[in-house]
Chain A
Amino acid sequence: MTAQEIGVQLKNDLEIRIAKVFSVFDVHSDNFIDTRNIGNVLRILGCAPTEKEVHEIMLATESAEEPGETHLSKFIAHITKLLMDEAMKPASSDEILDAFKVLDPENKLYLTKEYFGKLMSEDGEPFNEEEMADMWAVAIDPITDNIPYEFYINQLKHKTDLYDMAYQVKDQIARAEKDRRRPDRMRSRTHFAN
């Protein structure tokens, strides 16, 4: 996929990466996706937004001319800034473990299906039936019917270099900005010398 082919200027590796994931949902190859797929795009990229964060982005990037659709350029512009600010960064395994520990004050090292199920389907940003079914497929120990959460955490580890990439791009931009300013000072100096 080249910049010319898709008709949108991609200025760096980060934008290319975003465009590639975006294109998976671009059904008609016209650089638009259904706005409701934004959550998917973000998560596949490697971000871990809350549903609320997804909504904010949906609202901010939805096209005015084509309601219900989001264009690649607007999406890139909005997201690159967020990524460089390290928004929606996925938690480390330790942080997730801490979250589970909050739910397991007696330190049993597992949660019951009943408790966890109720929590996940009724509180926070609840899962719907389909999401619950998907979760049980990986989370539950079929023999004890419990969730041994440490094991679960290890099952679903997923590393990403997205934020490293964002950092590098941010760095490049900052340095390019510095270089842009420097020649003025150089010029005035040489002028003096002459």
Chain B
Amino acid sequence: MLRSCVCLRSESTKRRSSSVEDASSCRSSEIERVGASMQTTTLGPNGQPQPVAAQTTTRASSLLQLFQRKGWCKHFRKPLRGMSASRAEKTIRAAIFIQKWYRQHQARREMQKRCNWQIFQNLEYASEQDQAELYKFFNDLIKNMPQAAATGNKYHQNSRISILEEDGELVEEAGDIVSTRIELPITKNDIDRLIDVFRKKKGNRLHPKYVAMILREGARCLKQMPNIVMVSTAVSQQVTVCGDLHGKLDDLLVVLYKNGLPSTSNPYVFNGDFVDRGKKGLEVLLLLLSLYLAFPNSVFLNRGNHEDSVMNARYGFSREVESKYPRNYKQLLLLIDEVYRWLPLGSVLNSRVLIVHGGFSDSTSLDLIKSIDRGKYVSILRPPVTDGEPLDKTEWQQIFDIMWSDPQSMQGCKPNTLRGAGVWFGPDVTETFLKRHRLNYVIRSHECKPNGHEFMHDNKVITIFSASNYYAMGSNKGAYMRLNNQLMPHFVQYISAASQTKRLSFRQRMGIVESSALKELAVRMRDHRDELELEFQKCDPDGSGHITISKWCCVMESVTKLGLPWRLLRDKLAPGTDSQSVNYVTTLDLLDTDVIMEAEADGTTVMDALYANKSSLVTIFNIIDADNSGEITLDEFETAIDLLVAHMPGVYSKEEMLEKCRMMDLNGDGKVDLNEFLEAFRLSDLHRKQQQEEDMRRRSTHRTIQNPSDSVTKLANAISKNTAVVEQDIDPTDCEADAVDPK
């Protein structure tokens, strides 16, 4: 149990990282009380923990220590009154004995919390790695197709420009559409009405023409902003900065409720990642754009790495738009792309504080970034749209670094292998960067933190993350920061929909987070289900169904490639197992339960995303088709497939793809045009999906023959119950917020 809180940190000035790692119930009253009631961990005047008393080991002196700490009177006051000294001594000894035994038990809870957090983070980054592979694939492709690099990527730029000018052909949607009308210019009344519509649980939609209007007008105005926007507190005397929202409209409404709508005296900076993962990404995006249009000098929007159609195809936003506007989503997604490409890349506050989504590298140059034509980067993961100019990889790298990087505690700057893109930058890189650009500190987002914010690099790098309950209900707080005229930060932490967590006991809350973590992990494991079975069986030549714990951990790690504390997860992922060996069949059975299979169907794999992202496939084709003939040779196609398979192995089989392509080449001239190219991918994808369904059918028949054990069923039911989502209208007053004392 980490009985500590942010306020303690204020005593120490030399901490490398003042993260509040206590993800336990940091209730608002605790924050004030903790300083006063710290009973076991004390910080000395120099901020270092101290033992409570001198190091002696005899019992009598330990009693003495206790008296010194708590005062003589208090000790002998109640339960020990009227006892002899030796009896009192025995009692206290027994108490300590019981307390230390009980604390051992309690530590396991802390461990569970940590494990859950690790699971979520690992899964998130592993998925992002897949996406970053696409970037590397494109890089490789361009490298291997030298003519492509020379002549540039010929995209149909014309069609993009017309999107902004004309009214596209929007059609009527089926189902409920609210009668709310929005007209330009957007006013505060419009904002209130939009909030009223958006906060209702699903089913309440704006007419698509108003959605298009807000997107189009938003993009048009954003286009006029510079790459790095200068923000000043000269008039307002203060500014509020928010981090990742990820489709959590409830959190955005909590912030607006607690901190007020934007105005000349109340400006806001929103630091990217407005969409993906949460269910109301479209509403968040539309509300932010509306706030920007209504209060153009008081709202500043920065682009994040999720403001990117390639990411959206994988992380849910594209599907969200499609499900909300099934007849118009293609048009709307094109407009959203326009918003993305024109979002500024960062802000500088009072010429002293940089605000960007990810971070920076040792080669980041703000001057260079200011000079880029940012409109070229429709997606950051695909090569930029160029008009016959050669691709500038340095420039592309610069944008990557500010969108994807993370701070690390160690010195130096190295490629961020966790995410697969950007860098990890150390305190030395920060110092050099700040000095070179004459800045005081940097505010960034991009990483989820238990308390919504974290200091690093001697307080020169502040992470701000505004999506509470990000991984699961009760997983973390969100936060926003207010800066005064001297740019001193002050944080407000909150949890939205607090009543849902408050009515639960600590145990139940833990159960929910844990179930969510297990579910996500199990879905990820399903990707490798057959390989897991094979490897387990290799370790079990007798076919007993049992293997040692070490072997089980080994297989799990090597197959899933996730660096998780498998030994500690063992009794969850192999339920009903004893302490000596693991019944791996239960692990496989767990993966085949309904709750996990349904969750899998809900998600999107990287390949689903690649195919869904037709633009990416078209880009691939255009790169290969260097002479712009509209056709590529089978050889060139083969090279591309080789690279694709190298970057994203195990999904598309090269032979299959080539076979399909040859089938497509109807006139037998050894060439393939764009449609045949896309068709080859589509058929491969179809075949892959058919294979999956076949596998599922095979497994469910196998399952009906051998029922999963009781413990597996029990666990599956618990997961199902704990992760059931109850949708309600958003009530921003239903939050638990507390201000954190400034450093």
Chain B: minimal CB distance from A146 (Å) = 16
Instruction: Using A43-B107, A133-B506 as known contacts, say yes or no to A123 and B16 having CB atoms under 8 A apart.
Output: no
Chain A 30-72: CB-based contact to B (< 8 A → 1; otherwise 0): 1010111101101110011111101110110010001111000
Please state if B98 and A100 are interface contacts (CB–CB under 8 Å).
yes
Please state if A118 and B21 are interface contacts (CB–CB under 8 Å).
no
Q: Which of B42-50, B271-279, B642-650 contacts A (4 or more CB under 8 A)?
A: B42-50
Chain B: minimal CB distance from A85 (Å) = 13
Instruction: Using A28-B409, A52-B52 as known contacts, say yes or no to A130 and B103 having CB atoms under 8 A apart.
Output: no
A20 interface residue (CB < 8 Å to B): yes
Residues of A close to B65: CB separation below 8 A: 52
Q: How far is the CA of A74 from the CA of B39 in the complex (A)?
A: 26
Please state if B79 and A123 are interface contacts (CB–CB under 8 Å).
yes
Please state if B39 and A68 are interface contacts (CB–CB under 8 Å).
no
Please state if B51 and A56 are interface contacts (CB–CB under 8 Å).
yes
Residue of A nearest to B408 (CB): A28
Residues of A close to B41: CB separation below 8 A: 36, 55
Residue of A nearest to B25 (CB): A130
B599 interface residue (CB < 8 Å to A): no
A143 interface residue (CB < 8 Å to B): no
Please state if A124 and B96 are interface contacts (CB–CB under 8 Å).
yes
A184 interface residue (CB < 8 Å to B): no
Please state if A134 and B506 are interface contacts (CB–CB under 8 Å).
yes
Checking B3, B55, B118 against A130 with a beta-carbon cut-off of 8 angstroms, the contacting residue is B3
Residues of A close to B79: CB separation below 8 A: 115, 118-119, 122-123
Checking B95, B101, B108, B109 against A123 with a beta-carbon cut-off of 8 angstroms, the contacting residue is B95
Checking B104, B118, B505 against A47 with a beta-carbon cut-off of 8 angstroms, the contacting residue is B104
Residue of A nearest to B88 (CB): A123
Instruction: Using A127-B99, A134-B106 as known contacts, say yes or no to A35 and B49 having CB atoms under 8 A apart.
Output: yes
Please state if B91 and A103 are interface contacts (CB–CB under 8 Å).
yes
A10 interface residue (CB < 8 Å to B): no
Please state if A24 and B102 are interface contacts (CB–CB under 8 Å).
no
Chain A 169-192: CB-based contact to B (< 8 A → 1; otherwise 0): 000000000000000000000000
Please state if B565 and A24 are interface contacts (CB–CB under 8 Å).
yes
Please state if B96 and A50 are interface contacts (CB–CB under 8 Å).
yes
B638 interface residue (CB < 8 Å to A): no
Interface size class, chain A: 35 or more
Most A CB within 10 A of own CB, among B97, B101, B104, B107: B104
Checking B75, B80, B91, B109 against A134 with a beta-carbon cut-off of 8 angstroms, the contacting residue is B109
B237 interface residue (CB < 8 Å to A): no
Chain A: minimal CB distance from B527 (Å) = 22
Q: How far is the CA of A37 from the CA of B21 in the complex (A)?
A: 9
Q: Which of A103-155 touch B at CB < 8 Å?
A: 103, 115, 118-120, 122-131, 133-135, 137-138
Q: How far is the CA of A37 from the CA of B31 in the complex (A)?
A: 18
Most A CB within 10 A of own CB, among B3, B37, B101: B101
Checking B19, B46, B108 against A27 with a beta-carbon cut-off of 8 angstroms, the contacting residue is B19
Q: Which residues of B line the A interface, CB within 8 A? A: 1-4, 12, 14-17, 19, 21, 24-25, 30, 33, 37, 39-41, 46-53, 55, 62, 65-66, 74-75, 78-80, 90-111, 114-115, 118, 408-410, 505-507, 557, 563, 565, 567-568, 579
Instruction: Please provide the 6 A-B residue pairs with the shortest distance between their CB atoms, ordered closest to farther.
Output: A124-B95, A43-B107, A55-B51, A124-B96, A99-B94, A102-B94
26 sampled A-B residue pairs with Cβ under 8 A: A27-B19, A30-B408, A37-B21, A48-B100, A48-B101, A50-B99, A51-B52, A55-B40, A55-B50, A58-B51, A59-B50, A67-B46, A68-B47, A68-B48, A95-B97, A99-B98, A119-B79, A119-B95, A122-B74, A123-B80, A124-B98, A125-B40, A125-B100, A127-B99, A130-B3, A131-B1
